[in-house]
Amino acid sequence: MSKTIIVSNRLPVKIQREKHSFEYKPSEGGLATGLGSVYKEGDNIWLGWPGLPVNKAEEREEVTRHLNELNMHPVFLTKADIEEYYEGFSNETLWPNFHYFNQYIIYDDVFWNAYQRVNRKFAKELEGLIEEGDTVWVHDYQLLLLPLMIRELYPNISIGFFLHIPFPSFESFRLLPWRRELLEGMLGSDFIGFHTYDDMRHFLSSVNRLAGIGNTNGQMKVGNRLVMADALPMGIDYDKYAEVASHPDTLAREVRYRTSLGDVRVVLSIDRLDYSKGIPERLKAFEMFLTENEEFRGKVSLLMVVVPSRDTVPMYANLKAEIELLVGRINGKFGRINWAPIHYFYRSFPLHALSAFYRMANVALVTPMRDGMNLVCKEYIASKLDKKGVLILSEMAGSSKELSDAILINPNDEGQHVKALKEALTMPESEQVSRMEIMQKSLQRYNIHAWVKLFMQRLNHVKEEQENLQTKPFTASVKEELLASYDKTKKRVLFLDYDGTLVGFNANPLDSKPDKELKKIIAGLCADEKNRVVIISGRDKELLYKWLSEFPVDFIAEHGVWHKKHQGKWKKFVEVDNSWQDEIHSILENYVNRTPGSFIEKKDYSLVWHYRKVETGLGELRSRELTSHLKYVSAERDIQVQEGDKVIEVKNSNVNKGIAAASWIKKNSFDFFLACGDDWTDEDTFKAMPPKAFTVKVGAASSSAKYRVNDYHDIRALLESLANQ
Ligand code: GDG
Q: What is the CATH number of the domain that holds 661?
A: 3.40.50.1000
Please report how the helices 448-468 and 30-39 are oriented relative to each other, as an axis angle in degrees rounded to 10: 50
Q: Is 165 in the pocket of ligand 1 (CB under 6 A)?
A: yes
409: pLDDT strictly greater than 80:
yes
601: pLDDT strictly greater than 60:
yes
- Mark whether 496 and 585 lie in a shared domain: no
529: pLDDT strictly greater than 80:
yes
Q: Is 234 in the pocket of ligand 1 (CB under 6 A)?
A: yes
- Domain of residue 544: give its range: 472-574+656-723
Residue 507's pLDDT band (boundaries 50, 70, 90)? Answer: low
For residue 463, being part of any structural domain is answered with no
- Mark whether 43 and 78 lie in a shared domain: yes
Residue 508's pLDDT band (boundaries 50, 70, 90)? Answer: low
Q: Tell which of 608, 627, 652 closes a domain.
A: 652
Residue 103's pLDDT band (boundaries 50, 70, 90)? Answer: very high
**Ligand 1 atom having least distance to the Cα of 162:** 28
- pLDDT computed for residue 566 by the predictor: 87
- Mark whether 631 and 491 lie in a shared domain: no
Q: Residue 219 is which amino acid?
A: Q
2: pLDDT strictly greater than 60:
yes
Averaged over 383-393, what is the pLDDT?
98
- Mark whether 252 and 224 lie in a shared domain: no
Query: In CATH, what number is assigned to the domain containing residue 368?
Result: 3.40.50.2000
For residue 702, being part of any structural domain is answered with yes
Q: Is 354 in the pocket of ligand 1 (CB under 6 A)?
A: yes
For residue 466, being part of any structural domain is answered with no
- Mark whether 222 and 271 lie in a shared domain: no
How far is it, in rounded angstroms, from Cα 20 to Cα 17?
A: 8
- Mark whether 496 and 355 lie in a shared domain: no
- Mark whether 503 and 423 lie in a shared domain: no
- Mark whether 182 and 296 lie in a shared domain: no
- pLDDT computed for residue 199 by the predictor: 97
Residue 641's pLDDT band (boundaries 50, 70, 90)? Answer: confident
Q: Is 123 in the pocket of ligand 1 (CB under 6 A)?
A: no
- Mark whether 400 and 507 lie in a shared domain: no
pTM beyond 0.85: no
Out of 140, 352, 373, 448, mutate this one to test ligand 1's pocket (max ligand atoms within 8 Å of CB): namely 373
- Long-range contacts: 558-567, Cβ < 8 Å, 24+? 559/640, 559/653, 559/655, 559/656, 559/657, 559/681, 560/536, 560/655, 560/656, 560/657, 560/658, 560/659, 560/660, 560/661, 560/684, 561/653, 561/655, 563/660, 563/664
159: pLDDT strictly greater than 60:
yes
Residue 635's pLDDT band (boundaries 50, 70, 90)? Answer: low
Other Cβ atoms within 10 Å of 13 Cβ, number: 19
For the segment 172-227, what is each residue's pLDDT rounded down to a tens digit?
Answer: 999 999 999 999 999 999 999 999 999 999 999 999 888 888 888 899 988 878 99
For residue 454, being part of any structural domain is answered with no
- pLDDT computed for residue 221 by the predictor: 85
702: pLDDT strictly greater than 70:
no
Residue 497 catalytic?
yes
Q: Taking all residues of the chain, what is their mean pLDDT, rounded to a whole number?
A: 92
645: pLDDT strictly greater than 70:
no
For residue 57, being part of any structural domain is answered with yes
- pLDDT computed for residue 653 by the predictor: 67
- Mark whether 602 and 556 lie in a shared domain: no
For residue 456, being part of any structural domain is answered with no
**Ligand 1 atom having least distance to the Cα of 236:** 32
311: pLDDT strictly greater than 60:
yes
Residues 6+ apart with CB under 8 A from 596: 233, 401, 402, 442, 446, 614, 615
Other Cβ atoms within 10 Å of 280 Cβ, number: 14
265: pLDDT strictly greater than 90:
yes
For residue 431, being part of any structural domain is answered with yes
135-168 burial string, b = 16+ CB within 10 Å, else e? bbbbbbbbbbbbbbbbbeebeebbbbbbbbbbbb
Q: Tell which of 181, 212, 231 closes a domain.
A: 231
Query: What's CA 135's distance to the chain center, in Å?
Result: 18
574: pLDDT strictly greater than 60:
no
Residues 6+ apart with CB under 8 A from 616: 197
- pLDDT computed for residue 707 by the predictor: 93
For residue 34, being part of any structural domain is answered with yes
Averaged over 444-454, what is the pLDDT?
94
Q: Is the dihedral of CA 164, 165, 168, 172 positive or negative?
A: negative
How far is it, in rounded angstroms, from Cα 401 to Cα 613?
A: 10
- Mark whether 562 and 616 lie in a shared domain: no
Domain total of the chain = 4
Q: Is 349 in the pocket of ligand 1 (CB under 6 A)?
A: yes
Out of 348, 375, 402, 455, mutate this one to test ligand 1's pocket (max ligand atoms within 8 Å of CB): namely 375
Query: In CATH, what number is assigned to the domain containing residue 598?
Result: 3.30.70.1020
636: pLDDT strictly greater than 70:
no
**584 CA to middle of ligand 1, Å?**
38
- Mark whether 67 and 104 lie in a shared domain: yes
Q: Which of 199, 497, 679, 682 is catalytic?
A: 497
Q: Tell which of 652, 680, 710 closes a domain.
A: 652
